[in-house]
């Protein structure tokens, strides 16, 4: 379809990173590493609550060309923001020391050093086809690509096993939380590093365990469309953190460590003294149940029922958690009306992207309906991508 934008090939991504590196620093990098963005099929705002979520890695990746230095100097250039160049030292890459893309790109160096990995200075050039600010985890893709590179160049590769990748994912979460100042959970980094091609990643955020869930949409005659509404999306502006704080306070009032420990939702809601907190808790507990039900329906091939769960997830995020927006609601409503089996926002919300599960034969009609609806409402024209369950981060050159 004309509206559907494709991911770069691995060869194109590697070339783009190497080219930027050569122009900025001269010579050649020691290698190129790549890590993907993600979409979450269901299970939103459950990760920092210790619940279940079900992301897939996208074919859209961030590429990092990296060269080790023998001093503590760091040079970073981004092809994401008009070729911005940052020059500093390892000591600058710390909480309250850097911000913006520099924090996401350099934060993993600080986290690895905090974990005892002897990271030296480095030069890095980053390019990406993960849409920025679209709720598709472009920040985690940068962190994980650079983290993979720095760990390997320090002689401690963290890609040899799922346990290694889980360790690196945790360090990248720490970098995002403490260096970039974004209070996110661990879903994004887990998807970027621990996902496998052709599968969704069932992640239990309480203990970090995962199960690979086969997801052959093409064989089922289905397609997953990602609708980037191109509306503003930021997780460091307080709204995301407020909801996390609300959930943590509710758990404390209810005498549980995390909200998934609630077994009697009706009694729990009755014990809370304000409606907003009740709605936040209701979303989290019911969303975790929807993840388990979605996996059951997907494994049974009952995609109509899986689509209903997606719809229920969006409605809960819109009404109870209040993290949707006009652009997301218009896209979701249009996709459903045009025949999508299910549609929902994905990611942290307040802008960003929606996803629609559609039959192959309906894909063009759904995409056009979404574009038409945005045009009729005077909204920014969305971009539409195809989500294919892809592999996690790796060295590509």
Give the residue numbers marked as catalytic.
188
Q: Whose CA is closest to 234, among 181, 172, 287, 311?
A: 181
What is d(CA 2, CA 185) in angstroms, rounded to the nearest whole number?
35
Chain Cα centroid distance, residue 8: 18
Measured CA to CA in angstroms, residue 393 lies from 5, 34, 54, 142, 396 at distances of 21, 5, 18, 10, 9
Integer Cα distance of 325 and 327 in angstroms = 6
Could you tell me which of 74, 35, 66 has the C-alpha nearest to residue 152? 66
First to last CA, the chain: 31
| Rounded Cα–Cα distance for residues 389 and 39 (Å) | 9
Beta-carbon contacts of residue 65 (< 8 Å; ≥ 6 apart): 17, 18, 20, 21, 29, 31, 32, 124, 125, 126
Contacts of 291 (CB under 8 A, 6+ apart): 42, 43, 46, 51, 52, 53, 54, 202
Spatial CA neighbour of 104 closest among 201, 35, 160, 57: 35
């Amino acid at each position: 379809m004309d509206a559907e934008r494709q991911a770069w090939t691995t060869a194109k991504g590697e070339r783009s990173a190497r080219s930027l590196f050569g122009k900025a620093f001269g010579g050649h990098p020691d290698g190129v590493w790549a890590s993907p963005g993600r979409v979450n099929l269901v299970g939103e705002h459950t990760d920092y609550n210790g619940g279940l979520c079900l992301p897939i890695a996208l074919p859209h990746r961030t590429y990092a060309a990296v060269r080790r230095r023998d001093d503590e100097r760091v040079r970073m250039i981004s092809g994401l923001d008009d070729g911005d160049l940052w020059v500093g030292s390892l000591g600058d890459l710390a909480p309250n020391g850097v911000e913006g893309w520099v924090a996401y790109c350099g934060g993993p160096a600080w986290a690895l050093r905090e974990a005892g990995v002897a990271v030296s200075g480095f030069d890095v050039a980053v390019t990406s086809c993960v849409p920025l600010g679209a709720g598709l985890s472009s920040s985690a893709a940068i962190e994980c690509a650079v983290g993979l590179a720095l760990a390997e160049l320090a002689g401690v590769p963290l890609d040899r096993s799922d346990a290694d990748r889980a360790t690196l994912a945790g360090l990248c979460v720490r970098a995002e939380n403490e260096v970039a100042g974004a209070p996110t959970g661990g879903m994004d980094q887990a998807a970027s590093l621990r996902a496998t091609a052709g599968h969704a990643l069932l992640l239990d955020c309480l203990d970090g365990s995962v199960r690979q869930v086969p997801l052959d949409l093409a064989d089922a005659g289905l397609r997953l469309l990602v609708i980037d509404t191109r509306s503003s999306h930021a997780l460091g502006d307080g709204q995301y953190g407020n909801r996390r704080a609300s959930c943590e306070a509710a758990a404390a009032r209810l005498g549980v460590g995390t909200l998934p420990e609630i077994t009697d939702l009706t009694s729990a809601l009755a014990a809370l003294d304000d409606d907003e907190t009740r709605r936040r808790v209701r979303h989290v507990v019911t969303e975790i149940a929807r993840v388990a039900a979605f996996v059951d329906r997907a494994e049974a091939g009952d995609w109509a029922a899986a689509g209903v769960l997606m719809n229920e997830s969006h409605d809960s995020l819109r009404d109870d958690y209040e993290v949707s927006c006009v652009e997301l609601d218009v896209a979701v409503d249009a996709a459903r009306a045009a025949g999508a089996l299910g549609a929902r926002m994905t990611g942290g919300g307040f802008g960003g992207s929606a996803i629609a599960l559609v039959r192959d034969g309906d894909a063009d009609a759904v995409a056009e309906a979404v574009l038409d609806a945005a045009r009729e409402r005077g909204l920014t024209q969305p971009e539409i991508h195809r989500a294919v369950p892809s592999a996690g981060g790796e060295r590509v050159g």
